[in-house]
């Protein structure tokens, strides 16, 4: 619209898709956020193992869509595709029944397939019991980690220059030369004849080297929080003393509880798929990074058995 400005609002992470600018600091921040977002997203979409899916269905697409949209709909096309199974993106349509379950879905696959389905014809696969995607939380953790990393970078850079040196205009070239030698790590700093060190004033910038380990601990703690949010076992590396058995068990129980929030929704959908279509589909937590199995008698539980335990929700697809 001519004569008016269109206001845009976006975060630094979103700005990355608009192109980088000439500010190296902002570019480093965006790249770090993207790095953490990609890493955490990879961990998120590779947590579960689907088995028994028809060969035409892409397991990666299911998890990636659940991560971004929170919903995938499984159905069988008996018309155009002659009995082929699909698991596609979908949006909720129609009325919501007495259990707050949708009664119709609109499924689509990048303009290659699009149709409306009754809840009796398909099975919705939800990301979790709240039916919410997790990408927003992943972005928040990525942004927090990137901020801590940026603070560490600033601190490390400031540790090289902890004082501000001032002098008169005639000493400028000498001071620049001295700082260059210091920056290059010269063992001996040479000055020009007649240079008077007493005429130079030095101001302490207040850089505290002891703050760097605390920042590193803060980053490790934030990373551990992100791992706990994803249901990935994480050890408290900041504690000097050995964790007692009760602390290890408490952490493992929290991890298993978080895993269950996403695993239960997938397992319930797998049961519905088996019941509706006769396809034996199962889903479990990927044991590549499973909790360690603890010996009996140490106050620990068997992490592998607990991980594979199925806790069923009482939500159901509408009939």
For the chain, the domains span 9-159+208-319, 163-204
What confidence score (pLDDT) does residue 99 get? 94
Give the pLDDT band (50/70/90) at residue 191.
confident
pLDDT tops 90 at residue 78: no
What confidence score (pLDDT) does residue 123 get? 97
**Cα 273 from Cα 125, distance rounded (Å):** 10
Residues 6+ apart with CB under 8 A from 147: 29
Give the pLDDT band (50/70/90) at residue 220.
very high
SS3 284: strand
Residues 6+ apart with CB under 8 A from 287: 49, 304, 307
pLDDT tops 60 at residue 113: yes
Q: Which residues pair with 105 in a beta bridge?
A: 92, 117
Mean pLDDT across the stretch 266-291? 88
Mean pLDDT across the stretch 15-32? 67
**Cα 36 from Cα 145, distance rounded (Å):** 7
Do residues 32 and 149 make contact, with C-beta atoms less than 8 angstroms apart? yes
pTM: 0.70
Identify which of 160, 159, 171 has the alpha carbon closest to the alpha carbon of residue 201.
171
**Cα 266 from Cα 89, distance rounded (Å):** 15
DSSP state of 186: -
Count the Cβ atoms, other than its own, within 10 Å of residue 133. 17
H or E, element range at 244: none
**Cα 37 from Cα 32, distance rounded (Å):** 8
Instruction: Say which CATH class 163-204 falls into.
Output: alpha beta
What confidence score (pLDDT) does residue 312 get? 38
**Cα 168 from Cα 163, distance rounded (Å):** 17
The CATH code for residues 9-159+208-319 is 2.40.500.10
User: β-strands 48-51, 71-77: how paired?
Assistant: unpaired
**Exposure b/e, 20-50, CB count within 10 A at least 16 = b:** eeeeeeeeebbebbeebbeebbebbbebbeb
pLDDT, greater one: 70 or 165: 70
**Cα 291 from Cα 252, distance rounded (Å):** 7
Q: Look up tokens 């269905």; give the residue.
A: 57
Crossing angle between the packed helical segments 211-230 and 245-277, to the nearest 10 degrees: 30
Q: Where are the beta strands (DSSP E) in 184-281?
A: 201-204
**Cα 199 from Cα 163, distance rounded (Å):** 16
What confidence score (pLDDT) does residue 21 get? 57
pLDDT tops 90 at residue 273: yes
H or E, element range at 161: none
Residues 6+ apart with CB under 8 A from 277: 74, 76, 85, 123
Chain mean pLDDT for the chain: 79
SS3 2: coil
- Counting residues of the chain whose pLDDT is more than 70, the rounded percentage is 72
Do residues 112 and 119 make contact, with C-beta atoms less than 8 angstroms apart? no
Give the pLDDT band (50/70/90) at residue 304.
very low
What confidence score (pLDDT) does residue 42 get? 95
Query: First CA to last CA across the chain, in angstroms?
Result: 49
Mean pLDDT across the stretch 199-210? 72
């Amino acid at each position: 619209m001519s004569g008016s400005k269109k206001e845009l609002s976006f975060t630094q992470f979103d700005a990355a898709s608009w192109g980088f600018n000439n500010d190296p600091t902002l570019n480093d921040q965006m790249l770090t956020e993207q790095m953490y977002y990609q890493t955490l997203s990879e961990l998120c979409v590779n947590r579960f193992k689907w088995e028994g899916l028809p060969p035409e269905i892409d397991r990666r697409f299911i998890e990636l869509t659940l991560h971004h949209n929170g919903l995938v709909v499984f159905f069988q096309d008996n018309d155009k595709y002659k009995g082929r199974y699909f698991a596609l993106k979908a949006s909720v349509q129609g009325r919501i029944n007495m259990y707050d379950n949708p009664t119709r879905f609109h499924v689509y696959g990048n303009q290659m397939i699009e149709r409306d389905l009754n809840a009796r014809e398909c099975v919705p696969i939800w990301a979790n019991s709240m039916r919410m995607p997790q990408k927003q939380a992943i972005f928040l953790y990525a942004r927090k980690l990137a901020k801590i990393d940026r603070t560490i970078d600033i601190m490390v850079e400031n540790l090289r220059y902890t004082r501000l040196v001032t002098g008169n205009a005639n000493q400028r070239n000498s001071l620049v030369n001295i700082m260059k030698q210091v920056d290059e790590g010269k063992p001996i700093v040479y000055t020009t004849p007649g240079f008077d060190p007493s005429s130079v004033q030095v101001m302490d910038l207040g850089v505290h080297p002891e703050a760097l380990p605390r920042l590193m601990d803060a980053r490790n703690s934030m990373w551990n929080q992100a791992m706990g949010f994803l249901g990935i076992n994480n050890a408290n590396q900041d504690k000097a003393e050995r964790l007692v058995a009760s602390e290890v068990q408490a952490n493992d129980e929290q991890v298993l509880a978080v895993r269950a929030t996403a695993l239960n929704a997938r397992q319930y959908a797998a049961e519905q798929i088996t019941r509706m279509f006769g396809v034996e589909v199962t889903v479990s937590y990927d044991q590549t990074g499973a909790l360690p199995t603890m010996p009996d008698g140490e106050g620990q539980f068997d992490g592998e058995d607990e991980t594979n335990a199925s806790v069923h929700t009482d939500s159901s697809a509408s009939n």
